[in-house]
């Protein structure tokens, strides 16, 4: 194994461990309910995000986002039904006593602390405020609930918590301008956003492309091996697995170990999540993205530039490279660098998805599941891994480790780059629909294996396993999005739904067709050895001559 291939395999292996950290699909940060804050009469609102649109001297200005309280009246959902009201800074600031301000259906802004939330709301209501904005003493939002022994809950004005930085901005507006008014409303999120449809198509399309490329390469390698054997009757047949050149086969031990290592990486990401750590992940993602984009580009362009693709030059450290690879590499590097520099702009998700898809296709081309046994072990472990880090981790860490890492809550960034994402196009809250690389890669390893088997066994599309595995994956991912929307946007472990559909379909069909033993052990159909077949024909011809 040359240095170039060793480095390539090492990089791909490291990136697989990273990209499989985020195996949840999330639709945003809106929280509708919370079992830790039980409801009671007068304090039974769902927690909803609230838009606070401002106007300064009649001109529309900044918009802030807060969270509605358990108590008070519900906030209107449509902007056209929300009234503009003048904003007043409370005196005293904490509103723990009757305000000295003269209010006439104005919105009063108060500071958090020194008394209960409901006490502030009652004083504001008694002073004829139309709503109360409570400014948190931290940058995060806080859910305002009622104390277990509270009884004074006859509150008929909306109460909204805003983060500290929003309060600072609003205070500056009030000090430097003559008139500031606000409008409060909480738009409902659409049941289905078209972004989820495109994300589904991207995931299915990525596996489709990777599967056909992998199967085509395996068939070409098989044909080449047969030619070599036919041309060398006197040589011992090459007993290496078909298509083994440049391929990494996963075994049962590495499948189990992979999930253990991935869990360690996930905990490390959770504990060390910070701005600099995300920057490090961006660098690693760019390196993997360049490798993936270069591999895919060279494979595609070599059909038109065959001479450049087959002419090689030796480069220090990188080994032997084709002229086509040398020509394509600068463009791939430039693409990744431009994305890294401008990754925070609104359209940067396009570059991230291109790099991500290229990386996934390349991994599925290089890393193979040799048989159904290894695929079953890998997906079963990943199934348990996904459930544990999305749901069970809440009991140990008081929050879902997987979802926190996916969103990059502690990094000051928009999340780690090892995921595909599309902006929610018709969602008033904006945000992205995302899917982790692991939700495409891990099932993709089994699906690409199915098409390789079908092609080597000369099975038709209907009689093979690939079509049904592909349909099962698509249905599993579709069920994930249905569950996501039924759960009001709470992140879902996609492999919880994808693995039973995909693996269950494969195992059931294999047993029904009588191929399960071959699929489970060999992983490829029995093929007559050309060397033995030609040698047998040669002996028959000699016997005929003797007679």
HEC states along 89-104? ECCCCCCCCCCCCCCC
Rg (CA), the chain: 30
> b/e map of 3-33 (b: 16 or more CB within 10 Å)?
eeeeebbeebbebbbbbbbbbbbbbbebbee
φ/ψ of 280, rounded to 5, equals -65, -40
- Contact call for residues 210 and 469 (beta carbons, < 8 A): no
How does strand 419-423 pair with strand 432-436?
A: antiparallel
Cα gap 485→482, rounded to integer Å: 5
Choosing from 106, 111, 353, 439, the catalytic residue is 439
Choosing from 193, 386, 427, 454, the catalytic residue is 386
- Return the half-sphere exposure (C-beta side, CA atoms, 13 A cut-off) of residue 161: 22
- Name the residue among 150, 154, 151, 167 with its Cα closest to residue 125: 154
Determine whether 193 is an active site residue.
no
- Name the residue among 258, 411, 286, 454 with its Cα closest to residue 356: 286
Residues of the chain whose pLDDT is less than 70? 1-39, 229-245, 407-415, 488-491, 527-547
Peptide bond into 238 cis (omega under 30): no
Cα gap 276→17, rounded to integer Å: 19
pLDDT at 23: 39
pLDDT at 148: 77
- Contact call for residues 356 and 420 (beta carbons, < 8 A): yes
Cα gap 237→529, rounded to integer Å: 8
Q: How is residue 60 annotated by DSSP? A: E
Determine whether 152 is an active site residue.
no
Residues 6+ apart with CB under 8 A from 463: none
How does strand 159-162 pair with strand 59-68?
A: antiparallel
pLDDT at 409: 60
């Amino acid at each position: 194994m040359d240095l170039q291939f060793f480095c390539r395999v090492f990089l791909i292996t490291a990136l697989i461990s990273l990209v499989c950290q985020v195996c949840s699909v999330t639709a945003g940060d809106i929280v509708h309910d919370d079992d830790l804050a039980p409801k009671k009469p007068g304090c039974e609102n769902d927690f909803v995000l609230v838009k606070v649109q401002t106007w300064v001297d009649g001109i529309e200005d900044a918009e802030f986002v807060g969270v509605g309280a358990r108590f008070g009246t519900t906030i209107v959902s449509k902007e056209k039904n929300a009234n503009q009201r003048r904003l007043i800074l409370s005196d005293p600031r904490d509103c723990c006593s009757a305000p000295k301000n003269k209010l006439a259906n104005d919105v009063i802004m108060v500071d958090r602390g020194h008394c209960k939330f409901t006490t502030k709301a009652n004083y504001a209501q008694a002073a004829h405020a139309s709503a109360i904005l409570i400014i948190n003493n931290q940058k995060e939002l806080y859910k305002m609930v009622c104390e277990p022994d509270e009884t004074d809950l006859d509150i008929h004005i909306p109460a909204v918590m805003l983060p500290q930085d929003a309060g600072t901005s609003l205070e500056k507006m009030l000090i430097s301008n003559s008139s500031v008014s606000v409008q409060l409303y909480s738009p409902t999120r659409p049941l289905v956003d078209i972004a989820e449809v495109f994300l589904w198509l991207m995931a299915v399309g990525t596996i489709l492309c990777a599967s056909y490329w992998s199967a085509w390469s395996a068939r070409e390698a098989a044909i080449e091996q047969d030619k070599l054997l036919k041309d060398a009757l006197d040589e011992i047949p090459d007993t290496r697995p078909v298509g083994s050149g440049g391929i990494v086969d996963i075994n049962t031990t590495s499948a189990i170990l992979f999930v253990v290592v991935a869990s360690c990486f996930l905990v490390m990401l959770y504990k060390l999540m910070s701005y600099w750590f995300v920057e490090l992940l961006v660098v690693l993602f760019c390196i993997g993205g360049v490798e993936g984009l270069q591999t895919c580009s060279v494979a595609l362009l070599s059909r038109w530039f065959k001479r450049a693709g087959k002419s090689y030059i030796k480069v220090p450290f990188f080994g032997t490279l084709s002229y086509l690879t040398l020509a394509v590499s600068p463009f791939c590097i430039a693409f990744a660098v431009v994305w890294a520099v401008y990754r925070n702009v609104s359209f940067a998700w396009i570059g991230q998805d291109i790099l991500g898809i290229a990386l996934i296709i390349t991994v599925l081309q290089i890393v193979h599941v040799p048989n159904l046994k290894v695929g079953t072990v890998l997906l079963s472990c990943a199934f348990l891994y996904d459930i544990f880090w999305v749901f069970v981790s809440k009991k140990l860490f008081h929050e879902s480790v997987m979802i926190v890492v996916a969103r990059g809550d502690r990094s000051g960034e928009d999340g780690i780059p090892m995921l595909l994402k599309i902006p929610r196009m018709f969602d008033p809250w904006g945000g992205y629909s995302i899917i982790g690389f692991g939700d495409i890669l891990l099932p993709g390893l089994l699906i690409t294996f199915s098409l390789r088997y079908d092609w080597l066994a000369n099975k038709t599309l209907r009689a093979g396993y690939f079509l049904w595995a592909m349909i099962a994956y698509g249905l599993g991912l579709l069920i994930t999005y249905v569950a996501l929307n039924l759960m009001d946007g709470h992140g879902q472990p996609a492999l919880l739904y994808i693995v039973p559909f995909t693996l269950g379909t494969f195992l059931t069909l294999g047993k029904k067709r009588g191929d399960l033993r071959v699929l489970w052990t060999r992983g490829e159909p029995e093929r007559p050895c050309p060397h033995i077949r030609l040698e047998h024909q040669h002996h028959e011809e000699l016997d005929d001559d003797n007679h």
